[in-house]
Amino acid sequence: MKVGIVGATGEVGRTMIKVLEESNLKVDGLRLFASKKSAGKKLKFKDKEYTIEEISENVMREKYDYLLFSAGGNVSRRYAPIAAEAGNVIIDNSSAFRMQENIPLVVPEINGEIIKNYKGIIANPNCSTIQMVLALSEIQKQIGIEEIFVSTYQAVSGAGNKGIQELLNQQNGINNTAHFPDIIMNNVIPQIGPILENGFTEEEMKMVNETRKIFNDDSISVYPTAVRVPVLYGHSESVVFRIKKDIPLETIKNLISATENVVYTEKLLTPLMVAGSNITYVSRLRKMGKNTFLIWIVADNVRVGAATNAVRILLKHLEMRD
């Protein structure tokens, strides 16, 4: 199988390589692409070194079984359509194509069936959206959700290597604020992405729009507040959700527990505990009044929220291919 990774030297790109290794998928033609400044560097996959190639239109016109993109929206907008025209399947981690009507936005455990025999660009959802919809997916499927109130506590790795380095620099006394709107060390910043005309940030509106598209239900009301916290890996979310009929707390627990790649636990959960895991963890289930429940969700944002979901899309597509 021939697989290409675009943005291979970035935080998510490197993790895509690790997750591919862990999947035991037989990849006998791996190609790694990045910008000109990274060309010539080497990365390992299954104990073999691969040389980073500069991305170009010509290499995107070649045939691949799958291309995984994680190099930002501008790179995706330029090169992914070229690869798609060549008949390739592209799994794109940027926000460039997520809300385009003709492009599937996929969390395989929820709506993987829509990509059966699909060719072209498949959009990988936003990190904070993925873990939330995964945790709620069986509840939505079996009961139906009317409203979701979510506050996120998002790790700096959600902003890539630059976000990680900014926090590490500040811990070492270099108080630069090149990537975040304020000092992130010993702080929380209630803004991720630019603030839009409606007062919500871009990150918050991703959670609104992507949730509705993945669940195929525009009637769901989503009320998000996205916050950056000084954590390296692992997004946490406090979620209140209101469902369409009243059911016991135990039923909600059973629905969450029955969800693929989701674990419910009564234990205390923190980002440190889940770093490096491909599982979405849910705890602190409570009921407050009729039809209304609260949960705490934690997942490794670089894996579950990006690289792992991309590889799961690949595996799901491969599994359903005629």
Residue 24: the pLDDT is 84
The pLDDT assigned to 322 comes to 73
CA 164, CA 233: separation in Å to the nearest integer? 9
Domain span(s) for CATH 3.40.50.720 in the chain: 2-124+306-320
Q: CA 255 to CA 265: how far, in whole Å?
A: 13
pLDDT of residue 258: 97
Collapsed DSSP state (helix, strand, coil) of residue 126:
coil
> Average pLDDT, stretch 278-299?
97
Q: What pLDDT is recorded for position 210?
A: 98
Tell me which of 124-133, 172-181, 222-231, 233-242 is least confident.
172-181
Nearest alpha carbon to residue 311 among 96, 157, 132, 89:
89
pLDDT band for position 15 (50/70/90)?
very high
Q: Taking phi first (over 0 means left), then psi (-120 to 50 degrees means alpha), and beta for anything else, what does residue 144 get?
A: left
Indicate which residue of 235, 303, 312, 316 is catalytic: 235
* Whether pLDDT at 191 is above 80: yes
* 115 belongs to the catalytic site: no
Bridge-based pairing of strands 29-34 and 2-6 is parallel
What pLDDT does residue 321 have? 85
Numbered ranges of CATH 3.30.360.10 in the chain: 128-301
What's the chain's average pLDDT?
97
CATH topology for 128-301 is Dihydrodipicolinate Reductase; domain 2 (3.30.360)
pTM of the model: 0.96
Quick one: CA dihedral 167, 277, 19, 210, positive or negative?
negative
Residue from 32, 90, 91, 127 carrying the catalytic annotation: 127
The CATH number assigned to the domain with range 2-124+306-320 reads 3.40.50.720
Specify whether 235 is catalytic.
yes
Cβ 89 vs Cβ 122: under 8 Å: yes
